[in-house]
Chain A
Amino acid sequence: NAGVMQNPRHLVRRRGQEARLRCSPMKGHSHVYWYRQLPEEGLKFMVYLQKENIIDESGMPKERFSAEFPKEGPSILRIQQVVRGDSAAYFCASSPTESGNTEAFFGQGTRLTVV
Chain B
Amino acid sequence: AQSVTQPDIHITVSEGASLELRCNYSYGATPYLFWYVQSPGQGLQLLLKYFSGDTLVQGIKGFEAEFKRSQSSFNLRKPSVHWSDAAEYFCAADSTDSWGKLQFGAGTQVVVTP
Interface residue ranges, A against B (CB under 8 Å): 4, 31, 33, 35, 41-45, 48, 55-56, 91, 93, 95, 97-109, 111
- Measured in the bound complex, the distance between the Cα atoms of B44 and A10 in whole Å is 17
Q: Do B51 and A33 touch across chains, with their CB atoms under 8 A apart? A: no
Q: Is the CB of A98 within 8 A of B43?
A: no
Tell whether A100 pairs with B96 under 8 Å between CB atoms, given A43-B90, A45-B102, A45-B103: yes
**Chain A hits for B44, CB < 8 A:** 43, 91, 106
Residues of A close to B41: CB separation below 8 A: 111
User: Residue on A with the closest CB to B90?
Assistant: A42
Q: Considering only CB atoms, which chain B residue lies closest to A42 in the complex?
A: B104
Which residues of the other chain, A, contact B100 by a CB distance below 8 angstroms? 31, 33, 48, 95, 97-100, 102, 104
Q: Which of the listed residues B94, B102, B104 has the most CB atoms from chain A within 10 Å of its own CB?
A: B102
> Is B101 on the interface with A (CB-CB < 8 A)?
yes
- Minimum C-beta distance from B38 to chain A (A): 9
| Choice from B32, B92, B101, B105 contacting A48 with Cβ under 8 Å | B101
Contacts of B97 in A (CB 8 A): 100
B98 at the interface (CB under 8 A from A): yes
Q: Determine if B98 and A100 form an interchain contact, defined as CB atoms under 8 angstroms apart.
A: yes
Interface of B is mostly: loop
Q: What chain A residues lie within 8 Å of B43 (beta carbons)? A: 4, 91, 106-109
Q: Report B27 CB to chain A, min CB distance, Å.
A: 12
A101 touches B105 (CB 8 A): no
Please measure, in the bound complex, the distance between the C-alpha atom of A95 and the C-alpha atom of B99, giving whole angstroms: 11
Is B106 close to A, CB under 8 A? Answer: yes
- Residue in chain B with minimal CB distance to A41: B106
Q: A101-B51, A103-B46, A103-B49 are in contact. Are A48 and B99 (CB under 8 A)?
A: yes
Assess whether A100 is in contact with B32, with CB atoms less than 8 Å apart: yes
List residues of chain A with CB within 8 A of the CB of B90: 42-43
Q: Is the CB of A44 within 8 A of B104?
A: yes
